Homo-oligomer: A and B are copies of this chain.
Amino acid sequence: MFSGDLDKAMAGFIIANGAAAMGDDVTMFFTFWGINILRKSEYVPVKKGFLEKMFGWMMPRGADKLGLSKMNFGGMGSVMMKKIMKDKQVSSLPELISTAQSLGVKLVVCTMSMDVMGIKEEELIPGLEFAGVATYLGEADQAGVNLFI
């Protein structure tokens, strides 16, 4: 998960949860904007440099604050999409994330991206693992399905 868009995050978790429900071992690796999907929705006071603070302030705080990759219209598209999904009884992204965790999907966060974007472990939801590109490659190399989303 490179992207921090609501629609792409949903696609990623629907595929991951589908595979986990079919009995596959599933690992999701979160890097760059994808890390925003896993931020806590509340403000967490941590020590940051000036640019880190700016980045943290501009980036969406968690799964419920993400925009769409298309037709977002300053957030209105995202609100509309969530309304439709609720009407159609499709799981929301926060629900998909907690389903993933209860199905045993491993959620791994890229430590280098955290460092660059100034995101601290306390700002993220619980139940995550932390690793680098070598871990990603080790898992991906053995995977039947491996996507860059």
Contacts and interface: CB of A to CB of B under 8 A. Distances in A.
A18 B4 CA distance: 23
Nearest to A52: B84
Given A11-B2, A133-B14, A141-B144, A54 B80 contact: yes
Contacts of A58: 71
A33 to B, nearest CB: 6
Work out how many copies of this chain go into the complex: 3
Contact of A147 (B59, B115, B148): B148
Contact of A15 (B49, B85, B117, B136): B136
Interface of A: 2, 4, 7-8, 11, 14-15, 18-19, 22, 24, 31-33, 49, 51-52, 54-55, 58-59, 69-71, 80-81, 83-85, 87-88, 90, 112, 115-118, 133-134, 136-137, 140-142, 144-149
